[in-house]
Amino acid sequence: MNLDGLDGFTIEVPSWAYGNSGTRFKVFTRPGGPRNPYEKLSDAAQVNRLTGLANRVSLHIPWDLVDDWADLKAHADKLGVRIGAINSNVFQDDDYRLGSLCNPDPAIRRKAIDHHLQCLDVMRQTGSTDLKIWLPDGLNYAGQDSLRGRQERLAEALREIYDASDDNHRILLEYKFFEPYFYSTDIPDWGTSLLHCLALGERATVVLDTGHHAPGTNIEFIVMQLLRQGRLGAFDFNSRYYADDDLIVGSADPFQLFRIMSEIVAADAHRPESRVNFMLDQCHNIEEKIPGQILSVLNVEQALAKALQVDQAALATAQREGDVLGAHQVLMDAYETDVRPALADRREARGLPRDPVKAFGASGYAQTAAAERVGGTQAGWGA
């Protein structure tokens, strides 16, 4: 079984996955939850220690603000991970009720721009190269604001942020077709994100969150198109049944995840030189946080391993000859391949546990964290 394409493949995990989270009805707490960014990094490092796949951790500003970025960076280095993308946050301030970068009030737009400039400064101090922007901006009612005017304001604000970034920085612009607003979202789809990125310059790329599409959307088609343009900057992997459910990636539709990774492999975009940043964006509301992240990382690795089994020559021949079922069967043969024993062997050969989830349970880390993290306020979604 050919697994050479896994060499160098890594997945970035989010700091906020380890804090308390829940629904609009209830945020659940549990013993041993991290109380600050240092403890979040310590939890994230467990995923990398047991899988060898997750050596970067995304931060969210202001949730992860610290007084000494050099000290946090040194803490990450000591743990064997590094700080990845910096995520801005313009969705938890009363001023942003009518939008942030698209707000009709120039003072509020100024505040939102300044926040992104602050994120760029965090990047400079931590060695991060990616600024990830997801805007909650949108409208609930027709006529509430000018659709065109909001796009003009957005373009102007993004231009200022882009021009303030360094030559080694990338802007990763995310889209979402609805929520928290319902009539119109200011970056609702990949086309809108791409148009803004093309206007900004080569260092602006699109973020594809697998949970940010209407039901039935052919996500692998979007992946292919963005790769054709060299503008797929990052993935936010998760899984969904209805909307942005943020469930464990691959849990709802593993075949979709395989199809996505097949397009990635066909373009050699799984290799580090592609600069596609593969990230998780999930909140584990009822399951254990660290095991949930470990399982998510393993699910992406498994989907990639299956995609690497596609007989590309046989597929091309069947497609060229119009062999509809033959071409489909080539994909299905790869998808139905059980790659788990080979992946376990590969982990063992690299000095990693064959079953990382089981190994975490046996490590005692969760029990130690629960005993030691007493007092203070646990970090949570929004804190």
Note the pLDDT tens digit of each residue in 33-66. 999 999 999 999 999 999 999 999 999 999 999 9
Note the pLDDT tens digit of each residue in 146-184. 999 999 999 999 999 999 999 999 999 999 999 999 999
- Identify the pLDDT of residue 381: 61
For the cut 60, the answer to whether the pLDDT of residue 382 exceeds it is no
> 12 near 58, Cβ under 8 Å?
yes
For the cut 60, the answer to whether the pLDDT of residue 219 exceeds it is yes
Note the pLDDT tens digit of each residue in 310-335. 999 999 999 999 999 999 999 999 99
Q: Which of 144, 132, 227, 130 is nearest to 184 (CA)?
A: 144
96 token code pair: 């942003």
- Identify the pLDDT of residue 150: 98
> 291 near 307, Cβ under 8 Å?
no
Containing H/E element for 50? helix 37-51
- Identify the pLDDT of residue 264: 98
Note the pLDDT tens digit of each residue in 98-156. 999 999 999 999 999 999 999 999 999 999 999 999 999 999 999 999 999 999 999 99
Quickly state the pLDDT bin for 356 (edges 50, 70, 90). Answer: very high
List domains and CATH numbers for the chain. Answer: 4-308 (3.20.20.150)
The model's pTM is 0.96
How many CB atoms within 10 Å of residue 332? 13
- Identify the pLDDT of residue 52: 98
